[in-house]
Amino acid sequence: MQENLSNKFSKLKIKWACSEGGAVKVRAHVFVSGRVQGVFFRSETRHEARLRGVKGWVRNLPDGRVEAVFEGEEEAVKALIDFCRRGPPGAKVTKVEVRWEDYTGEFHDFEIKF
């Protein structure tokens, strides 16, 4: 029975991890559609991420969307996703797709990818 439960849990994708301080750490892969390029969306997202201590990256996609990966404390990541739903002045967000993924801790900062 114990081995069977262990096998089931090992097959689950865990979307979060706990830091040493006990705060839940998460990873979100985000795609933002609408008028989101040419309106400082990437630079404002980087600014908001750094204010919240969120790590990861943001970039423009050839199809006109913005793609980003956010890692950090759950509440900070959720707040950054909320920012993406609004965007900076001049943006008109029509859709935000969020894919929750395994937290990796691979990032040391938040950057704009080109």
Residue pLDDT, tens place only, 34-56 = 999 999 999 999 999 999 999 99
Of the candidates 76, 66, 59, 71, which has an alpha carbon nearest to the alpha carbon of residue 111? Answer: 59
| Active-site option among 7, 27, 59, 60 | 60
Instruction: Identify the active-site residue in 27, 42, 46, 65.
Output: 42
Q: Which of 3-12, 15-24, 80-89 bottoms out in mean pLDDT, i.e. has the lowest?
A: 3-12
What is the pTM assigned to this prediction?
Answer: 0.82
- Please report where in the chains the tokens 């969020």 appear, as a residue: 98
Indicate if 60 belongs to the active site.
yes
CA 17 to chain centre: 15
Closest CA to 96 of 85, 87, 88, 86: 85
Report the length, in residues, of the chain: 114
CA separation for the pair 82, 87 (Å, rounded): 9
Q: What pLDDT does 21 receive?
A: 64
Look up 7 and say whether it is catalytic: no
